Chains A and B, each alone.
Chain A
Amino acid sequence: MRSTLGRLTVMAALLMVVVAVPAALGQVPTIKIGFFAPLTGPAAPDGTSSRNGAQMAVDEINAAGGVLGRPLGLVVYDDRLSASEAVAIAHRLIERDRVVAVVAGSYSGPTRATAPIFQSAGIPTVAAYAVHPDITKAGDYVFRNSFLGTIQGKAGAYLAARILNAKTASILVMDIDFGRALASGFRTQAAAYGLRIVSEDTYPLGEKEFAPLLTKIKGLNPDVIYATAYFAEAAQIVRQAKALGITSRIIGQEGYDSPKFLELAGPAAEGVIITTNLNRDDTRPVAQQFLGRYKARFGIDADMVGASSYDAVRIIAAAIEKAGVVSPPRIRDQIYRIANFDGVTGIIRGYNKLGEVLKTVQVQIVREGRFRYFAVIDDPAVITPPTE
């Protein structure tokens, strides 16, 4: 009895310290921005990059004096890639942490589950890299800072048919919403350009063994292989294609956009071309400073996920600054008014009424183990996001 009570007392005291100390430290009230991402489990690499990018933006803004004279605070949660856990997190961010805006650093499942909750609570939310089309359809408080899968798919077809003059293509579809959306965009636009699709195969997320599919594609010998993938799958695809002696050009997307892709694929990555929204050869200071500081701080090259999360925080901060008050509806209004924002992920021309971003698509090629500038796509037929 005695010891149980004693232990309970100690625990209660500890809990009070945990709760009370941060409260006492904050002198000027911070402006809280919510953040959630998968920080553990199989999606931990992307979640970690996303948090790194967002945290770096917050720290830099605070070092420069904060927003409206107040520091920003990032309230970070791990959603473990679970939609139901993300729902609890969303309510927690709204009701207990009382955040004024949110950066969603997670995949489509958790982001889509939480979008209607932030919408009905009136908290402006920017999805850093989730691709599901329903996310922005939740309402006028939800924005997306990355391309819709279909737009990037169209850009891939433009790259293949218009820039590389390919006549035939094989498609590899990663069976999640991202891969499906990319493939459908590619298919639509390929038809418009007369690019013939000779095969289309589906594989599950996390697949490591592509030799069976690639052996089949080798026999068809298409001009390009449009392989939808995240970096881990992408590295396997290009390595195994090289090992099988496949000479077709491999076209990827922002999922490849990670230093880990280059490291894992090694020499096999040479000549792979991707569509993304981060241009490593971007000469604008904002981009070069970001790339340098990220590497210095986290010891790894920045990827598109980190860059997009960094931009998402900065866009929210800029909107708060412009609004002049910390009021969620006013922040939302200012996000809609953003024009030609100097982002790491390119010049953000603005957001349409659905909350979809309008910016040019960057095309990067792997040369000597690095992503380099190859082309930029600004054909409105490709990059204009849908409005409904």
Chain B
Amino acid sequence: MNITALLLSIRLALCVSAILFVVGVPLAYWLAYSRWRWKFLLEAVVALPLVLPPTVLGFYMLLAMGPHGALGKLWYAVFGHGLAFTFAGLVIASVLYSLPFAVQPLIASFETVDRKLLDASAVLGAGRMRTLGRIILPLSVPGIITALVLSFAHTLGEFGVVLMVGGNLAGITRTVSIDIYDRAQSLDYAGASHTALLLLMISFVVLSAVYGVNRRAGRRAWLPWPAK
């Protein structure tokens, strides 16, 4: 088993989950409560990674991060090196790729918070930030856990985007899924199966945790494949 690859994957998944929480909460708040008429367009954009082949997303990310892409140029101007085939590039691509897995459960759980509680908070003198922090987030804990866990699990298992954007550099961009692919290609089935089994078990434990938390909260988890 390739411990370096596993640790890299876990580090990537942790970074992505943390960033998605910070980015996802305001985005989900806006999507849940805004009355902007063109909101549906942004909703579609956020959901795109659900249906887009990872290679398509990865391809565009690669273009954007390349030496002639806007993101790549910007990164070079700030940090003095390119973005493609680096860990940072991998994080950015993974954040986009896992965005719906963080934002959708957050929207779903924000929307179940009784609007009257938000009105009550406002007439008691609370601004939007305080209402978000004291009312909406505490009442959305199952949704937040779902969002964190799904972003973690989804990032852990991604393949196509990593391959396009990160390539296959040991210790920098070679994640477990790439490692499994490498080993299977070179007929090292034993090595591949150990890592594959571990990934399977992690994914199963993580998803059980999500469904368990949501069941205890008496709610239905938002998942691409809803529980029966």
Do they bind each other?
Answer: no
Please list the residues of chain A having a beta carbon within 8 angstroms of any beta carbon in chain B: none
